[in-house]
Amino acid sequence: MTIALAFIFGIILGAGNWAIVPLVSDRIEPFDSEPAFYIGQCVLCLSALALAWRSGFLSCLTLLFGAWAGLNLYPLLLGTPEHRAWFLLGMFTSVLLLIYPLVCGIMGWLVRRLLTRYKLHYLQTRAAGVQSTKAPGERQTHRLG
C-alpha cells in the first residue's frame, strides 16, 4: 500500500470513529461512548497491525497520522457548533487515542522483522547445508551434510 493510500485509509478510519457512535449508543462523541470507543480502537489497532506487517512501519505511521486527521476533521466539518468550540482540545486528546494502535503497529513491524530475519537465516543455513548428488541423467536428490 502506498503512503497516500495509507493516509486516505487513515482519514476514513478516523472519521469512522465518529460515524459509528450514533449506531451503537445514544451519545454523539466517541470519547463518551464505551462501545464506540472500543470498536474504534479495535479497528485502528488491527489496521495498524496489518499495515505494519504488510507494508512496514512508515505506512503504519502514515495511517495513524491520517486517523488523527480524520478524528479531527470529522467534528470540524460535520460536527455541531459545540464540537467546533472544543476543536483545539480535541486535537490534543485525539493523540491519546492513537497510543494503542501505535503499539500494535510496532508489534506488527517487530514480528515482521523477526520472521524475515529468521526465514532468511533458515534459508541461508539450509542452502549451505544441502549438497547436490545429481549424476548426469538422474533425478535431483539432496543430501544434508
- Mean local confidence (pLDDT), 97-123: 88
Q: What's the pLDDT at 137? A: 60
Percent share of the chain, pLDDT over 70 = 83
Mean pLDDT of 69-75: 91
pTM of the model: 0.77
* pLDDT, greater one: 118 or 20: 20
Q: What pLDDT does 30 receive?
A: 81
Find, among 71, 51, 73, the residue nearest to 61 by Cα.
51
Helix (H, G, I), strand (E, B) or coil at 142: strand
Location of C-alpha cell 478516523: 14
pLDDT at 139 over 70: no
Model confidence pLDDT, tens digit, residues 34-56? 998 999 999 999 999 999 999 99
Pairing of strands 130-132, 142-144: antiparallel
Q: What's the pLDDT score for residue 82? A: 80
**Could you write out the DSSP letters of every residue in 11-52?**
HHHHHHHHHTHHHHSS-SSTTT-HHHHHHHHHHHHHHHHHHH
User: How large a percentage of the chain has pLDDT more than 90?
Assistant: 47
pLDDT tens-digit map of 73-101:
998 888 788 878 888 888 888 898 899 99
pLDDT for 67: 96
Where do the structural domains in the chain lie, given as residue ranges?
3-130
What dihedral do alpha carbons 128, 134, 140, 144 form, nearest 10°? -30
> What is the model's pLDDT at position 31?
80
Alpha-carbon torsion (12, 47, 20, 72), positive or negative: negative
Q: Which helix (H) or strand (E) holds 132?
A: strand 130-132
Report the candidate in 98, 97, 112 with the shortest Cα–Cα distance to residue 51: 112
Listed residue (4, 1, 2, 15) closest to 69, CA to CA: 15
Residue 17 · residue 30 · CB < 8 Å: yes
> What is the phi/psi pair of residue 132, to 5°?
-80, 135
